[in-house]
Amino acid sequence: MEIQLSGMCGNSPKNKLAEDLAVALITGDTKTLTQLLTDDAAVELVGGERYPLSAVLEGSASVPELTALTVEHAISHGKIAAVSGNWVTRGGSRFAFSDHYTFATTKGTEVASARCYRIKLT
């Protein structure tokens, strides 16, 4: 799989954390998810439900195989961050995403909640 990162994270550890979390959520990287989300974190798929961390980790096993993932933007300010981009599955389906995160603290070392928009393009 080809992953293209935003290049916007040079001097911002919070931007890097947000970008890493977006990639982990989309690719189903449970190791990174457990490192970056608080134990009581919740992930909401907009238009769907809100899931506790345990359900997110279980669901990571069923992530479709991707051929490409592009992170276009990763920004943060205070206790919030946003990441956007797109991905392509092995079957050729294309999706756009926009994730909005709330850090557990202003230090920004863990995310307490995520609101994830997923839009199928083709």
The residue ranking higher by pLDDT, 63 or 107, is 107
Nearest by Cα to 65 from 19, 22, 2, 122: 2
Query: What pLDDT score does 59 carry?
Result: 86
Please tell me the pTM assigned to this model. 0.95
Query: What pLDDT score does 122 carry?
Result: 87
Average pLDDT over every residue of 98-105:
98
45-92 pLDDT, tens per residue? 999 889 999 999 988 877 889 999 999 999 999 999 999 999 999 999
Query: What pLDDT score does 3 carry?
Result: 96
Topology annotation, domain 2-120: Nuclear Transport Factor 2; Chain: A, (3.10.450)
pLDDT at residue 28 greater than cutoff 90: yes
Query: Which residue(s) pair with 2 in the sheet?
Result: 68
Q: Determine the Cα–Cα distance for residues 3 and 31; give it in Å rounded to an integer.
A: 18
Residues in Cβ contact with 58 at an 8 Å cutoff, skipping those fewer than 6 apart: none
14-27 pLDDT, tens per residue? 999 999 999 999 99
Grade residue 101 by pLDDT with cuts at 50, 70 and 90: very high
2-16 pLDDT, tens per residue? 999 999 888 999 999
Q: What is the separation of C-alpha 91 from the centre of its chain, rounded to a whole number of angstroms?
A: 21
- The domain spans of the chain are 2-120
DSSP of 44-92 = EETTS-EEEHHHHHHHGGGPPPEEEEEEEEEEEETTEEEEEEEEEETTS
